[in-house]
Amino acid sequence: MKNAKDGMNRIQTILKILLVGICLSGNEAKSQQGLKIYISADMEGVVGAVTGDQLGPEGFEYSRFRTFMTAEVNSAIKAAKNAGASEILVSDSHGNGENLLIENLPSDIQLVRSWPRPLGMMQGIDETFDAAIFIGYHSSTTNTSGVRAHSFSSANLTAVILNGIPMPEAGVNAAIAGHFGVPVVMISGDDAIVKEAQDILGALEGAIVKEAYGFHSAKTIMPEKSYQLIEEKVSAALSRLETFEPYRLKLPVTVEISFKNYMPAEILSYLDEIERVDAHTIRFIGKDLPTVSKFLQFISHYSPGISP
Ligand SMILES: [Zn+2]
């Protein structure tokens, strides 16, 4: 037994030396050093999440799902660091923006919390980042499949269309990243958003952590399995970072938004910059993606009664 084990150890050591040699001699390994990675984290696409019971402070499973969401983000962080990331910014981009368990995140990253913020789910991104990653994402309000399919506000919006393309949050956020020249390289969530994102953005890596049966039902893998899968997909994405292009929309950007209700479209159309397309839909032309993002944030957060 002992001799066999010694033999195995020797083989393993030789393999390790060979691997290190290959890594050090390759250009890829060199260029990966000092990567700066942006991670935008939502919750509807977290493993096992299917209803409001997991997604907000009033839900009986919410506190446990905060730990799953945090663990998914930590899996992405771990893989990013293994790929050479030395700077990581995470944005808590679901609900109240206060979901991730800050004490469970590594001490050497930074976190964006709460709202409102001009770049929304991409706050803090700029041209110094090398790649963006989306964790826990969900399909768009215009998609007929996907768990909790919505775009920015399930209560208020029935379509968000940029340059004629119905967008999930992943599409808008990828365009914001694209404005800064940053490609989105990986997304996790259900099968519906992974497909929708790949259709719009191209062949980014996708971690499918559940299969949607409907708005409030899915067949899900188990948490530990999702952490593994996310780690694998982030590693796969960052090992071929040079194959990704930033997602850039043609400027200026035509934004069409349909509201569930009639009144927002009526009142917004008082502004000269806004055209009423139909009873529930308005059109706005944004000179660039930060302008589009601020407009989306404005319609999501403004009401005359807001305080302080
Ligand atoms: Zn969300």
Query: Residue 21 has what pLDDT?
Result: 41
pLDDT value of position 155: 82
Q: Which CATH architecture has domain 33-154+167-243?
A: 3-Layer(aba) Sandwich (3.40)
Please report the pLDDT score of residue 29 as a whole number: 41
Instruction: Give the pLDDT means over successive 10-residue stretches in the chain (308 positions).
Output: 47 46 41 89 98 98 98 98 98 98 98 98 98 97 93 90 97 98 98 98 97 98 98 98 98 97 97 97 98 96 92
Q: Which has the closest alpha carbon to 170: 195, 267, 155?
A: 195
What's the 42 CA to ligand 1 centre distance in angstroms? 5
Strand, helix or coil for residue 239: coil
Q: How far does CA 276 lie from the centroid of its chain?
A: 31
pLDDT attached to residue 3: 45
* Distance (Å) from CA 48 to ligand 1 centroid: 14
**Confidence at residue 189, expressed as pLDDT on a 0 to 100 scale:** 98
Q: Domain-by-domain residue ranges, the chain? A: 33-154+167-243, 253-301
CA–centroid distance, 143 to ligand 1, in Å, is 16
Q: How far is the CA of 140 from the centre of ligand 1 (A)?
A: 11
pLDDT computed for residue 166 by the predictor: 96
Rounded distance from Cα 99 to ligand 1 centre (Å): 10
Ligand 1 centre distance from Cα of residue 202 (Å): 23
Q: How many whole angstroms from 139 Cα to the centroid of ligand 1?
A: 10
Confidence at residue 32, expressed as pLDDT on a 0 to 100 scale? 75
CA of 144 relative to ligand 1 center, distance in Å:
18
pLDDT of residue 113: 98
120 contacts 177 by C-beta, under 8 angstroms: no
What is the distance in A from the centroid of ligand 1 to the CA of 84? 29
Q: Quick one: CA torsion of 115, 121, 127, 131, rounded to 10 degrees?
A: 140
CA distance linking residue 235 with residue 23, whole number of Å: 15
